[in-house]
């Protein structure tokens, strides 16, 4: 049987199905996509973009296909790739109803070339049954919380418990397309130059805040590689919430600064754009530490970068205290799930407690390296209190020399929930007395 055309919807559905199948067996989406691009070099850029759109949409719709397939199949499929194909095809049917017959035909074409072609008839029958009973399928799916709100049941219970007034808005934001925000490298460009270059390329932008005159949000997203000034290190892609970290540290020239969990390097580079500091950036994984170095090289910045575990200062600390520490600790990433929709599929309820334990270990290890009068900014991209406010309360109780320092607005902590302008983040500034 001849291969599928490189620009066909059938091939896009087949590759997207493989990506979804990989996530369902535990692989991170970014890793899966990298390996798939290598496996399908014939995919043109437009097809890659289409595959990514289908994959992200399918994964954002957690629980949706489960509700559909529960009514369409007599028993769950054991062939992961065929299960993935049905999921991406059903997502496409719901979002592109005007092309429903083309989607079914192309999905059947894809099925003919996977799993020995043994599921071609099943895929055809399931999708045509879906078209006949679409209204009933959607009604049944909307009656189930996981499918209606597109989050795991344990996640929804946690949101209801901690945010009884806001849980629906948080879930809705987690299913949406994220905004694309930029940070202008003040050492290489002005805000006016950045906006003029964007305007010339046909991309309007909005200035994000008076306190940070270097942040922009694009009215419409665009490929990173096409961003004016990106290759020259004049601009970076960074969420508006993430840009708060460097601002809240209260940096000054000459400070000694530690970025304890630095990869991929966005906050590291922002610190260096804001002040002339002596900065050490750590990441436990060598490959991720290399990404920090690559980011700094692109922006024309310099720091000491080490592949080391923040919990083991003996491996990386020279005994000189830091004036500022950024502890952007590993977390559930529940505040950035719209950017990383595989998180819904990979996280389990017990992971929150596991991350909380890891965070406590990192904080306890970092605290002795902070100078008296120095400040540590504790930061997560989570919305779960066990990783945020409760974590900070427990830490302060263990360390009598820890004082909750006010942020510029006077607050002792800041919980940003994901919304139209930024992702979900938590911030707390801790001073060593």
Q: Domain holding 212: CATH number? A: 3.30.70.1170
197 in a structural domain = yes
Q: Are residues 227 and 339 in the same domain?
A: no
419 in a structural domain = yes
Q: Are residues 146 and 43 in the same domain?
A: yes
187 in a structural domain = yes
Q: Are residues 264 and 347 in the same domain?
A: yes
The domain total for the chain is: 3
Q: Which of 213, 237, 261 is the last residue of a domain?
A: 237
In the chain, the percentage of residues whose pLDDT exceeds 70 is 99
88 in a structural domain = yes
The conformation of residue 421, written as its DSSP 8-state character, comes to S
Query: Which pLDDT band holds residue 115 (cuts at 50, 70, 90)?
Result: confident
Q: Are residues 133 and 196 in the same domain?
A: no
Q: Which long-range contacts (CB under 8 A, 24 or more apart) does 420-423 make?
A: 420/173, 420/179, 421/179, 421/208, 421/217, 421/240, 422/179, 422/181, 422/239, 422/240, 422/241, 423/178, 423/239, 423/241, 423/242, 423/335, 423/336, 423/338, 423/339, 423/381
Mean pLDDT of 47-61: 97
User: Furthest-apart CA pair in the chain: how many Å?
Assistant: 72
Q: Are residues 188 and 317 in the same domain?
A: no
In the chain, the percentage of residues whose pLDDT exceeds 90 is 94
Active-site residue list: 381
As a whole number of angstroms, the distance between CA 269 and CA 246 comes to 9
Contacts of 162 (CB under 8 A, 6+ apart): 383, 384, 385
Q: Which of 7-11, 114-118, 151-155, 279-283 is predicted with the least confidence, judged by mean pLDDT?
A: 114-118
Query: Which pLDDT band holds residue 1 (cuts at 50, 70, 90)?
Result: low
Q: Which of 190, 209, 237 is the last residue of a domain?
A: 237
Mind listing the pLDDT tens digit for each residue in 396-427? 999 999 999 999 889 999 999 999 899 999 99
233 in a structural domain = yes
Q: Are residues 79 and 197 in the same domain?
A: no
Mind listing the pLDDT tens digit for each residue in 278-321? 999 999 999 999 999 999 999 999 999 999 999 999 999 999 99
Task: State how far Cα 70 lies from the chain centre.
Answer: 29
As a whole number of angstroms, the distance between CA 312 and CA 284 comes to 10
405: which strand partners? 429
165 in a structural domain = no
Task: State how far Cα 244 lies from the chain centre.
Answer: 17
Mind listing the pLDDT tens digit for each residue in 313-348? 999 999 999 999 999 999 999 999 999 999 999 999
172 in a structural domain = no
161 in a structural domain = no
Average pLDDT, the chain: 96
Query: Which pLDDT band holds residue 76 (cuts at 50, 70, 90)?
Result: confident
Asked if pLDDT for residue 259 goes beyond 90, the answer is yes
Q: What is the CATH number of the domain that holds 306?
A: 3.40.50.150
As a whole number of angstroms, the distance between CA 193 and CA 210 comes to 17
Q: Are residues 347 and 204 in the same domain?
A: no
Could you tell me the two tokens for 402? 């820890």
Domain of residue 209: give its range: 181-237
Q: Are residues 248 and 290 in the same domain?
A: yes
Q: What is the CATH number of the domain that holds 90?
A: 1.10.940.10
Determine the pLDDT at residue 213: 76
CB 334 within 8 A of CB 155: yes
Determine the pLDDT at residue 210: 67
Contacts of 415 (CB under 8 A, 6+ apart): 383, 388, 389, 425, 426
Q: Are residues 402 and 264 in the same domain?
A: yes
Mind listing the pLDDT tens digit for each residue in 185-218? 999 999 999 999 999 999 999 999 766 679 999 9
Determine the pLDDT at residue 151: 98
Asked if pLDDT for residue 90 goes beyond 70, the answer is yes
Could you tell me the two tokens for 188? 């290489």
Mean pLDDT of 47-59: 96
Q: Are residues 200 and 84 in the same domain?
A: no
Q: Are residues 345 and 314 in the same domain?
A: yes
Determine the pLDDT at residue 152: 98
Q: Are residues 208 and 61 in the same domain?
A: no
Q: Which of 209, 237, 265 is the last residue of a domain?
A: 237
Nearest to residue 5, comparing CAs of 154, 97, 106? Answer: 106
């Amino acid at each position: 049987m001849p291969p599928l055309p490189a620009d066909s919807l059938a091939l896009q559905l087949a590759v997207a199905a493989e990506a979804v199948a990989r996530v369902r067996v535990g692989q991170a989406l970014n890793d899966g996509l990298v390996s798939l691009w290598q496996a399908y070099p014939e995919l043109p850029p437009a097809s890659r973009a289409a595959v990514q759109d289908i994959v992200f949409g399918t994964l954002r719709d957690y629980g949706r296909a489960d509700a559909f397939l529960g009514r369409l199949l007599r028993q769950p499929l054991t062939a992961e790739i065929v299960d993935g194909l049905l999921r991406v095809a059903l997502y496409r049917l719901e979002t592109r109803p005007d092309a429903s017959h083309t989607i079914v035909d192309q999905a059947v074409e894809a099925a003919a070339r996977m799993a020995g072609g043994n599921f071609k008839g099943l895929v055809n029958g399931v999708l045509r049954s879906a078209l006949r009973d679409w209204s009933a399928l959607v009604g049944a799916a909307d009656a189930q919380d996981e499918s209606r709100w597109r989050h795991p049941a344990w996640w929804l219970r946690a949101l209801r418990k901690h945010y009884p007034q806001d849980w629906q808005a948080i879930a809705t934001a987690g299913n949406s397309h994220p905004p694309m925000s930029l940070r202008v490298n003040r050492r290489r460009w002005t805000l006016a130059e950045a906006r003029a270059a964007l305007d010339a390329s046909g991309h309007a932008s909005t200035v994000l805040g008076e306190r940070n005159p270097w942040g922009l949000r694009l009215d419409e997203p665009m490929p990173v590689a096409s961003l004016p000034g990106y290759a020259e290190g004049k601009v970076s892609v960074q969420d508006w919430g993430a840009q708060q970290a460097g601002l809240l540290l209260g940096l000054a020239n000459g400070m000694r600064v530690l970025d304890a969990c630095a990869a991929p390097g966005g906050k590291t580079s922002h610190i260096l754009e804001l002040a002339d500091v002596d900065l050490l950036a750590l990441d436990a994984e060598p490959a991720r530490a290399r990404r920090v170095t690559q980011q700094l090289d692109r922006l024309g910045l310099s720091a000491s970068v080490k592949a080391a575990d923040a919990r083991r200062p003996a491996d990386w600390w020279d005994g000189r205290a830091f004036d500022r520490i950024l502890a952007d600790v590993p977390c559930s990433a529940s505040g950035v799930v719209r950017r990383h929709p595989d998180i819904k599929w990979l996280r389990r309820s017990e992971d929150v407690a596991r991350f909380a334990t890891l965070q406590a270990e990192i904080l306890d290890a970092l605290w002795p390296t902070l100078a008296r009068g120095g400040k540590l900014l504790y930061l997560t991209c989570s919305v779960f209190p066990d990783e945020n406010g409760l974590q900070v309360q427990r830490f302060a109780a263990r360390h009598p020399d820890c004082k909750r320092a006010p942020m510029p607005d006077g607050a002792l902590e800041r919980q940003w929930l994901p919304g139209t302008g930024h992702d979900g983040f938590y911030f707390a500034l801790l001073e060593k007395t």
